Amino acid sequence: MDELWMIRAEIEIEPGDLDLEPEYTKGFMNVITWGSSEESIRKRLSDYIGTFHWNLLSIDEACLVSNMKKSSTALDEMIERAKPNPMAIILGTFHTYREKT
């Protein structure tokens, strides 16, 4: 049975996406989605962001929403948006960084 998950993922975007300077292509994002396991949410997120030509680099954290000890207002809003829609993949703010060269 699918349950709601919170994921903190490291993602690589296309240069210039999200109105960012071209050198800012990697960052972290919180995601809320439905899944039956960590493997299923990894695949679901990877497939979804692939439609934007983005890449899932890693999952820093993944936990069931029901097991979360605390959350923020932004996460609470994402959770509420996802609850009624079992197909939901709610992407949070992209927090980017520039790699050292």
Check residue 65 and give its pLDDT: 96
Beta bridge pairs of residue 21: none
pLDDT value at 99 more than 80: no
How far from each other are the two terminal CA atoms of the chain, in whole angstroms? 45
* Residue 68 structure tokens: 């979360």
Is 78 within a domain? no
Q: How many helices (H) and strands (E) does the chain have?
A: 2, 5
Cα separation, 15 vs 35, in Å, equals: 30
**Half-sphere exposure at residue 61, Cβ-oriented, CA atoms within 13 angstroms:** 12
Span 64-79, average pLDDT: 91
Check residue 101 and give its pLDDT: 65
The total domain count for the chain is 1
Q: Rounded to two decimals, what is the model's pTM?
A: 0.92
Instruction: Tell me which amino acid residue 1 is.
Output: M
Is 77 within a domain? no
Is 55 within a domain? yes
Residues in the chain: 101
Range of the domain at 8: 3-71+88-97
Summarised one tens digit per residue, pLDDT across range 49-70 is 999 999 999 999 999 999 998 7
Summarised one tens digit per residue, pLDDT across range 11-61 is 999 999 999 999 999 999 999 999 999 999 999 999 999 999 999 999 999
